[in-house]
Amino acid sequence: MYDTIQDMNPPTELTAIPVLPSPSIARPHVLQPVSGPLLPMLIELREDALIVGRATETDIQIPSSTLSRQHMRLERRHDGYRAVDLGSVNGIHLNGIRVHSAVLRDGDILQLGDAVFMYHEGR
C-alpha cells in the first residue's frame, strides 16, 4: 500500500546526458566526380551561383575539350541547387536525360561531356 501520492509517483531524477550535436550545423551540397578529369576531388558548393566550364575564369574549371567554355550554371535555391545549360555544345545530362535545366536531388548523376558527377544534398 502507498501512504501518499508522492510515494506512488516518485520525483523524476535528473541525470546528465551526453550533449547531442546541433541539427543546425550545416553540411554543404557536394558534387562528387565519379569519372572524368576532376577525380578524385570533392567539390563543396557554397556560392549562390557558380559557373562550370572549360575556361579558366569559371568557378569550377574542368579541363576537357568535351566541355564548352561556359557550360553550366549552378544556382542555389531554397532547397538545393538548380543546374542550367548555358548553351553548351554537348549539353548536360541528368540520369541519362538531356535537360536544359534541372533541380538536383540527392544521388543524381550529372554528366557534362566526359565529366560525370554524383550530387549529394547537404542540409
Q: Which is nearer to another protein, 115 or 119 (CB)?
A: 119
Please, is 2 exposed, middle or buried when counting C-beta atoms within 10 Å of its C-beta (0-12, 13-18, 19+)? exposed
Per rule CB under 8 A, count of chain residues that contact another protein: 15
Near another protein by CB under 8 A: residue from 1, 14, 19, 97: 97
Q: Which is nearer to another protein, 52 or 104 (CB)?
A: 104
Near another protein by CB under 8 A: residue from 102, 110, 112, 115: 102
Measured between alpha carbons, how far is 106 from 14 in angstroms, rounded to an integer?
A: 40
Near another protein by CB under 8 A: residue from 39, 41, 49, 103: 103
Q: Does 100 bind another protein (CB under 8 A)?
A: yes
Near another protein by CB under 8 A: residue from 55, 99, 116, 118: 99
Q: Does 27 bind another protein (CB under 8 A)?
A: no
Handedness of CA 49, 53, 57, 60 (dihedral sign): positive
Measured between alpha carbons, how far is 37 from 80 in angstroms, rounded to an integer?
A: 25
Q: What is the end-to-end Cα distance of the chain in Å, rounded?
A: 54
Quote the cell numbers at residue 26. Answer: 550545416
Q: Which parts of this chain interact with another protein (CB under 8 A)?
A: 82, 85, 94, 96-103, 105-108
